[in-house]
Chains A and B, each alone.
Chain A
């Protein structure tokens, strides 16, 4: 089975104290660590597990500058066979739709049975790239997948719905699945593992390599434009419990006694 995985390198903001940059259109990324988008980490792991079981190849695509090679190399170290980076200055300012168009044109150049993407990206959170790609490629899709069973020329996939419910569907191959976190346990990549793939070539393709026109990509090819970013309004906000740890603990106990009936 030949599998294509599309990944993105994103800033890790889950635990970071983030602030808005001078442009007012993005966050200040200077002090942030970057890593493979969490959903994509599960997608690449799923692809490699399928390859280990069924044979075939795993090819990874990512749209981004040279920094993205770091995430592509992580995928190679995890077991991907090939990595291709899509970059062009004209890609700047692209939204989820424009990104999907570039990725769709790029994967067209490769034979595939299955395409995996993450369900969404941690940074812009559009949650649309995979589904748009499938439509552009004219193949069926299943989104928010948390379990896969490959059968002959088709896949049985579980979709995660709300409230602990799952929907089981069957889809003919070739198909595109968007992968939900928790579907597997992504393998750990050691520094040695990264070193082993350090010399492997990562090909870069641009607009002219991909049968795309400059007006199809970047901001020009987008539906949306970002006007400004701002901190979410906090609402009423919490009463902050302050003081020495023992004093805070006493206050927590008082609240538990008062509101929770703890005796």
Chain B
């Protein structure tokens, strides 16, 4: 029997979206290759999650241990080495997330399983899998294949890349797998979670967000956009590079590692549209993008696009709005 195993990702008692996305894609894949779908669920007291996962799979591999209360690369690796060695799934799917990026590469290395990271396309092909990845910050897609034929493959899957498609429920059984963990000391230990400091303004509450990205080039150019935001009662937000350079506080950041926002109007200025940013703003009512690169991925998610130098067009828009509002 060909088995595909999805490693469930959960945090603070909640299964994360990428888990459902992988299960949906995993179901498609098992149907095309004639196999069965399993989910490996590691945690402490997670039977409720196992119940929730049952209709999506043929089998829940449940590994419960108090030592699995918090994610740790070392405990996850030990457990999954045992699971993958015993079950030999043809494909293991792990989220390309802060968690999956942290353990999939070392797990694959340890077990000598070929790994393709950050996949946005996975298709069965001649007993192996054809993959699609993005390179150059999402500006280019790459069709990639596993070089050698192997009994097992591993992929990490980009969050948001695959839709969750509802299908007839499966009657998944819960299979309890004994935990291989012992009280042996770990070289890495979980201490605590901390929340990033909240900003003065809550960007998730704004109706209009004016977001700036790398294209703003310098902190001294920010007042230009701030004035535009003020003129229309909008709030200033940004993409990651602006926070990395300490030009705006972390609380202003929209995207995977920042906030998810759903304003009525989102104006993206000098933002190329990397998937990490898009994940945080694609739910906006209307998106207007201003970018000088006509090929910028942001134009793929925006409803309205302006190909222009932001330093030339933003002042004109600002003046026009001031004039029309009088």
Q: Which residues from chain A sit less than 8 Å from chain B, CB to CB? A: 11, 13-18, 20, 27, 96-97, 100, 119, 122-128, 131-132, 134-136, 139-144, 156, 158-172, 175, 181-182, 185, 219, 222-232, 234-241, 245-246, 248-253, 255-256, 259-263
Contacts and interface: CB of A to CB of B under 8 A. Distances in A.
Instruction: Rank and list the top 7 A-B pairs by shortest CB-CB distance, nearest first.
Output: A238-B305, A249-B320, A182-B244, A223-B114, A260-B265, A135-B106, A128-B105
B162 to A, nearest CB: 15
Contacts of B133: 125
B15 interface: no
A149 B74 CA distance: 21
Contacts of A229: 135, 140-143
A231 B295 contact: yes
Contact of A158 (B101, B194, B299): B194
B215 interface: yes
Interface string B105-120: 1101110001111100
Interface in B207-225: 207-208, 214-215
Contact of B320 (A11, A27, A250): A250
A126 B258 contact: no
Given A236-B300, A253-B317, 8 more contacts: A127-B96, A131-B103, A132-B105, A161-B99, A163-B258, A164-B257, A168-B190, A249-B313
A140 B147 contact: no
B167 interface: no
Interface stretch (B23-31, B173-181, B286-294): B286-294
22 contacts: A14-B272, A96-B117, A122-B136, A123-B135, A128-B105, A132-B106, A135-B110, A143-B102, A158-B194, A164-B196, A165-B193, A171-B188, A181-B244, A185-B245, A223-B108, A224-B147, A228-B142, A229-B143, A249-B319, A250-B324, A255-B288, A260-B286
A165 B71 CA distance: 14
Contact of B141 (A13, A144, A231, A263): A231
B144 interface: yes
B82 interface: no
Interface centre among B147, B233, B246, B321 (most CB of A within 10 A): B147
A172 B133 CA distance: 34
B106 A14 contact: no
Contacts of B43: none
B264 interface: yes
Size category, B interface:
35 or more
Contacts, number: 293
For the complex, would chain A's binding face be called helix, strand, loop or mixed by DSSP majority? mixed
Given A164-B258, A227-B145, A260-B286, A170 B191 contact: yes
A165 B260 CA distance: 13
A98 B101 CA distance: 17
B90 interface: no
Contacts of B143: 226-230
B189 interface: yes
B196 A223 contact: no
A142 B188 contact: yes
Contacts of A181: 240-241, 244
A127 B104 CA distance: 10
Given A122-B136, A235-B300, A237-B299, A128 B293 contact: no
B295 A17 contact: yes
Nearest to B116: A224
B145 A169 contact: no
Given A96-B117, A135-B105, A161 B187 contact: no
B310 to A, nearest CB: 12
B236 to A, nearest CB: 15
A123 B244 CA distance: 19
A164 B233 CA distance: 26
A184 to B, nearest CB: 10
